[in-house]
Amino acid sequence: MTIPAKFGDVDQERILTEIADQLKFLLPPGWDYVQIKYNAIGDYRETAAIVRSVAETLTPWTPPEVIADLFAELRAGAANPVGGTWLGAVFEMRHPGSFRVNFNGTAEPEFRNPPPAEAFAEELRRFPRADENIPDWLRLRADEAGDAS
């Protein structure tokens, strides 16, 4: 997904590099690869990771809050009034620190735990989108949350 951003590509790259730099110190010894999935809707967010060691073992890992906070900053900086912002990111890094990231701007994120109903309406309040850019699933969930309040 191309991200039309409040801040420029330099700012985006700075935050992504900071995520990578933080991970180098936070990951368990002997890591070779990490994949982090960050999903957010409104104020609700989930961050999970899988770490592969040099011995090829895969281990679930919960990144510290500082990593989730950096993703939240990246997400907020990518917001614009036409397209909103992205809803999920998959960040992959290989030792010693080369990384890539893919953003999800329209598909419903796959959460491990369901977000509270009000998070969907909050998403559209915090990160408004042009009407034609609101995915059907998000419109439906936000409308349901409005009916429940």
How far is 141 from 34, CA to CA, in rounded Å?
A: 32
Res. 4: pLDDT tops 70: no
Q: Which residues contact 26 (CB under 8 A, 6 or more apart)?
A: 63, 64, 66, 67
For residue 6, the model assigns a pLDDT of 64
How far is 45 from 38, CA to CA, in rounded Å?
A: 7
CATH for the stretch 9-148: 3.30.500.20
- Averaged pLDDT, 32-55: 98
Q: Give tens-digit pLDDT for 85-108.
A: 999 999 999 999 999 999 999 999
Q: Give tens-digit pLDDT for 107-140.
A: 999 999 999 999 999 999 999 999 999 999 999 9
